[in-house]
């Protein structure tokens, strides 16, 4: 179909529970790997007197990548009947957390893998917690290595109820729990013949049902102002439309100033012939606008529509990943950057600290290097912000300490109300 949708899926699970095997299998079953390559690897295994491992496939792709030949194995692409999938392998969860929270990678959904013979382990729970922390709400649980337990339904049901109860406690609902054998191929692309008692989807079907993140143009209009230029007698407001759509004639509002205007023209260069001027633009495009009235607005403000504006605030709650040597604590002063705004920020409270090595929460007033925590920031002046769950582009913040990036995070809530309207 022309409207194939892209879904980014992270795969997590206890080491050795079969992530690489499942990924190799999925690549193979979806035609991502030439049959000749598999035959070649099987021949190598046979020559060495070793059983063929699907994870060899990933290793061999990794080797090719090291030589600059093929794909990045931490981001594997394949297609299901209606989706383009990017499977993100999470090598270490600290690294993954950092990437997710600072915006380097974003997952729309997750596969959580459990070895049927090992059951739910501490690491499995930590990974569940990680998904909760990152706000990944679509999770499919895969119970792998069913061959090791003779495809016993009772074993599967026990794991299923334990993991769904755990996830539910975190507010994460498993969209499916699927018994498979990645090695044998049962339940991956084809219904497992040895699990006739299971009526749910295959892994591929489950992947096909994940919803992609909402496209940026479907979200409310957000254009952070990059610069305001003045020439002739006109003012031009320039920025990039991060989300939503903008049209000539539309009423807009700038936050935090609350100033209102109507879009008069969308300027392009070279100047188009009369009648061919641009009248609308959508997310992803740079825009230079003139307005119907002279108002004073600044870099850092966010342009939106009056009925769906970001809130102006001086207090936000942020879930951040901290990278700097010095611990973050109450009173630490930083520079906060959200979209094009810049402001001094002081830590007013530290609410929760998580050690990503163990993903355990502990009471602390300090967030150390490589830890995750929730803090309340007090800003030196109002900025416009959205909670991350409403808009990832204007709900993400970068923090600097001593001129260097020291952390980054998601805006969990905007604590002040609307700024007073001028």
Binding site for ligand GDP (CB under 6 A): 13, 15-21, 53, 55, 144-145, 147-148, 181-183
Angle at 15 between CA 12 and CA 21, to 5 degrees: 75
Q: In the bound complex, what is the minimum distance in angstroms from residue 43's beta carbon to ligand GDP?
A: 18
Closer residue to ligand GDP (CB): 174 or 182: 182
Start-to-end CA distance of the chain, whole Å, equals 50
User: Torsions phi, psi of 278, nearest 5?
Assistant: -70, 135
Q: In the bound complex, what is the minimum distance in angstroms from residue 195's beta carbon to ligand GDP?
A: 12
Q: In the bound complex, what is the minimum distance in angstroms from residue 92's beta carbon to ligand GDP?
A: 12
Helix ranges, 190-285 (H): 203-209
CA 96 remoteness from chain centre = 10
Closer residue to ligand GDP (CB): 147 or 352: 147
Q: In the bound complex, what is the minimum distance in angstroms from residue 15's beta carbon to ligand GDP?
A: 5
Structure tokens at 42: 């099987």
Closer residue to ligand GDP (CB): 118 or 162: 118
For 329-364, b/e burial (b = at least 16 CB within 10 A) is eeebebbbbbbbbbbebebbebeebbbbeebeeeeb
Q: In the bound complex, what is the minimum distance in angstroms from residue 39's beta carbon to ligand GDP?
A: 19
Angle at 303 between CA 299 and CA 308, to 5 degrees: 145
Q: In the bound complex, what is the minimum distance in angstroms from residue 53's beta carbon to ligand GDP?
A: 5
Closer residue to ligand GDP (CB): 149 or 253: 149
CA dihedral 301, 302, 308, 311 (to 10 degrees): -50
CA-closest candidate to residue 212, choices 7, 393, 390: 7
Closer residue to ligand GDP (CB): 182 or 336: 182
Closer residue to ligand GDP (CB): 147 or 162: 147
């Amino acid at each position: 179909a022309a409207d194939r949708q892209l879904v980014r899926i992270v795969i997590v699970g206890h080491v050795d529970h079969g992530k690489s095997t499942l990924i190799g299998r999925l690549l193979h079953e979806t035609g991502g790997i030439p049959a000749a390559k598999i035959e070649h690897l099987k021949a190598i295994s046979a020559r060495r007197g070793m059983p063929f491992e699907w994870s060899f496939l990933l290793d061999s792709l990794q080797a090719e990548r090291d030589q600059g030949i093929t794909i990045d194995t931490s981001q594997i692409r394949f297609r299901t009947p209606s989706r383009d999938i990017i499977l993100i392998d999470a090598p270490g969860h600290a690294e993954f957390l950092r990437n997710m929270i600072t915006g380097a990678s974003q997952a729309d959904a997750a596969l959580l893998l459990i070895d049927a013979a090992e059951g739910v382990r501490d690491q499995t729970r930590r990974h569940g917690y990680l998904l909760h922390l990152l706000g990944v709400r679509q999770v499919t649980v895969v119970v792998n290595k069913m061959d090791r337990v003779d495809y016993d339904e009772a074993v599967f049901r026990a794991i299923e109820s334990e993991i769904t109860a755990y996830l539910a406690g975190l507010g994460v609902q498993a969209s499916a729990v699927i018994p498979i054998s990645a090695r044998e191929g049962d339940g991956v692309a084809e219904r497992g013949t040895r699990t006739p008692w299971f009526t749910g989807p295959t892994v591929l079907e489950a992947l096909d049902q994940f919803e992609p993140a909402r496209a940026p143009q479907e979200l409310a209009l957000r254009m952070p102002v990059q610069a305001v230029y003045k020439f002739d007698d006109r003012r031009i407001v320039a920025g990039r439309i991060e989300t939503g759509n903008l049209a000539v004639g539309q009423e807009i509002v700038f936050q935090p100033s609350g100033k209102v205007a109507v879009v008069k023209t969308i300027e392009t260069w070279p100047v188009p012939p009369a009648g061919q001027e641009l009248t609308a633009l959508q997310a992803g495009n740079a825009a230079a606008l003139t307005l119907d009235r002279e108002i004073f607005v600044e870099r850092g403000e966010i342009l939106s529509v009056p009925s769906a504006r970001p809130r102006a605030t001086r207090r936000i709650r942020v879930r951040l990943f901290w990278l700097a040597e010095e611990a973050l604590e109450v009173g630490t002063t930083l520079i906060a950057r959200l979209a094009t705004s810049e402001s001094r920020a002081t830590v007013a409270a530290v609410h929760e600290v998580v050690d990503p090595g163990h993903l355990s929460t502990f009471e602390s007033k300090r967030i150390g290097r490589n830890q995750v925590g929730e803090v309340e920031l007090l800003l030196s002046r109002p900025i416009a912000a959205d909670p991350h769950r409403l808009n990832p582009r204007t709900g993400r913040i970068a923090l600097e300490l001593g001129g260097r990036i020291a952390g980054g995070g998601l805006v969990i809530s905007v604590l002040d109300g609307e700024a007073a309207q001028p």
